[in-house]
Structure 1
Amino acid sequence: MNYRATIWFAIAISIIILILLAFFLPSKDCTLINIVGLIGFVLSALGIVIAYVQIISIKKIALETQRQITENLRQHNSILMISDLSKKGEIIQEIQGYLREDKFDLCRLRMKDLKSILANIGNQDYYSSLVPKKEFKSVLENFQLDYRNLLTHNLTDRTRIDKILVIEHLEALSLLFLNVENQLKNRRNDT
């Protein structure tokens, strides 16, 4: 809808109504006060129409602005999530390196960090919409089991850590993060 055309149309209608009212006004009522009153009435009606059109225009602009803000926030959050997932991948690589070097204390610390990150991811709807729940649950259970085994490793010498299996589980977790990161990048490129 072209708002300028609507305003000009309202002005034209107002002028026509003013002319018709003046034309059909009985001659005894054609006093200056009555004509000024008619002009005031028509101008008031025209002002109301113009105000209404401006309100509609402002509402349309506000809705479009809100849509753009929402889209920009979604893109910004997507970029942050991609960055966040890359950091998680680096943590996993760091943990794998500690395992290879038998640095279990450092490994436990980084796995504790990763555990809290995974808990946050499980609670976020956006991530869960990108990852099948069954796959995420499987990877999370493996991670938690490996983490518990590492925690008890020094407590009892009987506990033996299968480093290769833990590294495989971490690799599955890393692939899961990579998959989510690629999905986010593809969604970002599609828009």
Structure 2
Amino acid sequence: MTDWLNTVGEQLLFFFILPITVVYLVGSLSSYLTDQLNRWLGYALTAILSFFGVVIHELSHLTVALIFRHHIVSFCLWQISDDGILGYVNREYNPKSYYQRLGNFFISLAPILGICLTIWFLLSFGWVTGWHIRNIIIIFILVSLLLGFHLSQADWQNFWRGTPFYLALILIISTVKYIFFQ
């Protein structure tokens, strides 16, 4: 029993607690950066500067929502609006489907992975050695992407809706690992 609890504890630590802590910290830093830019540059200029980050953020939500078979009602990849919402993905899901409810967890965190992959792609395939105009453009895009790490209150609400199903999945995988792979 103690071995099983250790297995579950390890899985929770590595696949839930540590990643969520990192996501929260990175999102908080992104939010702080956005707030500072809003104060220094104003909302409109900050919104323009965050274009690439917002587009990748919303495309990540959209892509993972489709993977989890959510019905997309509407979406906007980028906008400047009076309510401060720069983009959105409105979706519906079947509350009786465990798969779609689990999807809420991954949909809410998708921008973190999407932005990280975009940064990796830019630095791996776009960056050139030395001073080059392309590198200056990439730096501008990277700053924009950093602003896209911020998860909204709606993202966190969806995260918590999917969390019980994700934790159940960790419990099932941990049990299978304990029984068959020990």
Indicate the TM-score class for this superposition, using the shorter chain for normalisation. 0.3 to 0.5
Q: Report the structure, 1 or 2, having the larger helix content.
A: 1
Q: Report the structure, 1 or 2, having the larger strand content.
A: 2
Q: Report which structure shows greater RCO (CA 8 Å, sep ≥6).
A: 2
- TM-score, normalization by structure 1: 0.33
- TM-score, normalization by structure 2: 0.34
